[in-house]
Amino acid sequence: MPSLEPTMDSPQNVGQGDSRDAGGYQNNLSWSSPTTPLPAETHPRRVFEKLFGQGGPSADRQAPKLNSRASLIDRVTADIKRLEVELGISNRVKVDDYLTAVRAVERRIQPAELKTDDAPRLDLDRSRVCGPTLYADHTRLMFDLQLRAMQGEFTRLFSFQWASETSPFAYPKNGVKDPHHVLSHHGNDPAKIERMAKINPFHLSLGAEFGQKLQHNPEGVGSLLDSSGLMYGSGMGNPHRHEHTELPVVIAGDRRFGL
């Protein structure tokens, strides 16, 4: 089963490294071998097309037919109607509910693309990732794409990186103008630690929202969360010292393993 590899960071940041670490190890969570990272995707439209449409070169994705208001689902209406004839009432309702949810996600993508070029950079250097201008909106959209992928059994495997290790993202909506990476090298400065402490719970709250959505989506005798395993965490224990011990990790989900 293929793995979905969304990320929140700009393509310009991917591949950066320092004198100790190759950029690939900083910016990729999932690997097919010790030397081959699985490519991550920043753009919600491309993630959507990978799941529900067709990919192809960037020029093709920018073609008028893909930027029109027509939904990808509209193009398979006849196929859907033929399928529904063969389904019972309960399964027909499930299909309709799922397609409605997918269409809702698609409709959120297009306004985000239209606003990207003209919107003020409310989050520092979003670098035109062609997603919602605000970090939280972009994150929620990417999480919803992952949710629909799980519901449709396109994949049950994904890794999601909040940003690259040296990301310049800032969080002005949370009252923090400094990038998270800069604050992580706080030098035990209480003011910097206080500002960083506003960002970490914000990240965690978005992850918790995703977990709640999984919990509220039924699957079998339980929920999607019951049949999934989620791990949220960081590769740093004390980021100022670059220590990789006592890592903060939260595990939730699959009740078979007591999570």
Give pLDDT tens digits for 142-201: 999 999 999 888 888 888 988 777 778 888 888 888 888 889 889 899 999 999 889 989
Q: What is the dihedral of CA 173, 174, 177, 181, to 10 degrees?
A: -120
> Model confidence over 215-249: pLDDT tens digits?
998 887 889 998 888 899 888 888 888 888 888 88
Cα separation, 37 vs 58, whole angstroms: 21
Q: How confident is the model at residue 67 (pLDDT cuts 50, 70, 90)?
A: very low
Give the residue among 133, 116, 211, 226 at the shortest CA–CA distance from 172.
Answer: 133
Structural domain spans, the chain: 1-163, 170-259
pTM of structure: 0.75
**Residue 42 predicted with pLDDT over 90:** no
Segment of 44-48, 80-84, 98-102 carrying the highest mean pLDDT: 44-48
Q: How confident is the model at residue 89 (pLDDT cuts 50, 70, 90)?
A: confident
Give the residue among 137, 139, 134 at the shortest CA–CA distance from 119.
Answer: 134
148-170 burial: b if 16+ Cβ within 10 Å, else e: bbbbeebbeebbbbbbbbbbbbb
